[in-house]
């Protein structure tokens, strides 16, 4: 849509410019995700520098168990696929299907968080034990915060995708698309985090 077309819809209230532009709202969201990604990039850079420069004190444990994070990676990857399904269903105007897929996605997100918390409780180190521990908790915690926010947003949009009286429809897909993009972004960050933190 072009600027002048949009201005036709403005009428007296110029506040609604953003309501009619799918394209640049997604564009804005992408810019925001780039910014968010840079925060993670900063954390990753700090972590890698620490690993290269600052040796851990003797006896510090920094080998991580792999089963839970691997399960978590699988959970998140599946959740990305289910979210994609939800979007496809909505495009075909099948609101109730879309809602189901969203609830599955949210459940996977919650499962991820439960696993993450379970891992925290079973780790041999605490937040302030050493530099590796602190960086580990900061990175996974900051990512967990993103997952928590994402899960909440998925629950909200799944309510709004309901067949009767829901705000999100075939015609107004922006909220769903936005959250989907965000969710894929959080997944992508997790994959990088998994590789850097657990595998390297």
Partner 1 sequence: MTISIDSQDSNTKSLQPKGWLRYLSFSLDHKVIGIQYLVCGFLFYLIGGTLASAIRIELASPMSDFMPRDVYNQVLTLHGTIMIFLWIVPVVNGAFGNYLIPFYVGARDMAFPRLNAVAFWLIPPSGLMLVASYFIEGAAQAGWTAYPPLSITTPQSGQIIWIMSVLLLGGSSIFGGINFIATIIKLRRPGLKLMQLPMYCWAMLGTSLLVVLSTPVLAGTLILLSFDIVAHTGFFNPVLGGNVVVYQHLFWFYSHPAVYIMVLPAFGLVSEILPVHSRKPLFGYTTMVFSIMGIVVLGLVVWAHHMFTSGTPPWMRLFFTIATAFIAVPTGIKFFNWVATLWGGKISINSAMLFSCGFIINFVFGGITGVALAQVPFDIHVHDTYFVVAHFHYIVYGGTVFIIFSSIYHWFPKVTGKLMSEKLGIIHFAITFIGFNLCFAPQHWLGLNGMPRRVAEYDPQFQFVNQISSIGALLMAISTIPFLINIFLSIKDGKNSGDNPWNALTPEWLTSSPPPVENWKGEAPLVEEPYGYGKPISKEN
Q: Which is nearer to partner 1, 5 or 170 (CB)?
A: 5
With beta carbons less than 8 A apart as the criterion, state whether 135 and 47 touch. Answer: yes
Residue with tokens 């077309």: 5
Structure tokens at 101: 């897929």
User: What would the x/- binding string for partner 1 be over residues 59 to 88, using CB under 8 A?
Assistant: ------------------------------
Which residue among 68, 78, 138, 181 contacts partner 1 (CB under 8 A)? 138
Stretch 1-20 residues interacting with partner 1 (CB under 8 A): 2-4, 7-12, 14-15, 17-18
For residue 94, the minimal CB distance to partner 1 (Å) is 31
Distances (CA, A) of 46 to 32, 53, 196: 22, 10, 12
Q: How many whole angstroms separate alpha carbon 108 and alpha carbon 124?
A: 26
Tell me how far the alpha carbon of residue 171 is from its chain's centroid.
24
Cα(51)–Cα(17) distance, rounded to whole angstroms?
A: 48
Q: Which residues bind partner 1 (CB under 8 A)?
A: 2-4, 7-12, 14-15, 17-18, 21, 23-25, 27-28, 31-32, 34-43, 45-46, 49-50, 53-54, 56-57, 127-128, 130-131, 134-135, 138, 142
């Amino acid at each position: 849509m072009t600027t002048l077309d949009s201005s036709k819809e403005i009428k007296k209230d110029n506040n609604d410019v953003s309501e009619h532009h799918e394209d640049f709202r997604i564009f804005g969201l992408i810019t925001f995700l780039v910014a968010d990604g840079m925060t993670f990039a900063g954390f990753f850079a700090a972590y890698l520098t620490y690993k290269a420069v600052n040796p851990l004190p003797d006896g510090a444990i920094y080998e991580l168990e792999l089963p839970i994070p691997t399960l978590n990676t699988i959970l998140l990857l599946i959740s990305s696929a289910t979210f994609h399904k939800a979007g496809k269903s909505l495009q075909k105007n099948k609101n109730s299907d879309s809602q189901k897929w969203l609830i599955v996605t949210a459940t996977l997100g919650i499962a991820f968080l439960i696993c993450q918390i379970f891992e925290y409780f079973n780790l041999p180190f605490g937040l302030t034990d050493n530099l590796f521990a602190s960086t580990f908790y900061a990175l996974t915690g900051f990512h967990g915060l993103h997952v928590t926010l994402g899960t909440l947003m998925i629950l909200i949009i799944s309510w709004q995708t309901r067949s009767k009286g829901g705000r999100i429809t075939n015609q107004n897909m922006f909220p769903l698309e936005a959250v989907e993009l965000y969710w894929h972004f959080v997944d992508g960050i997790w994959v990088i985090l998994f590789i850097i933190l657990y595998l390297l």
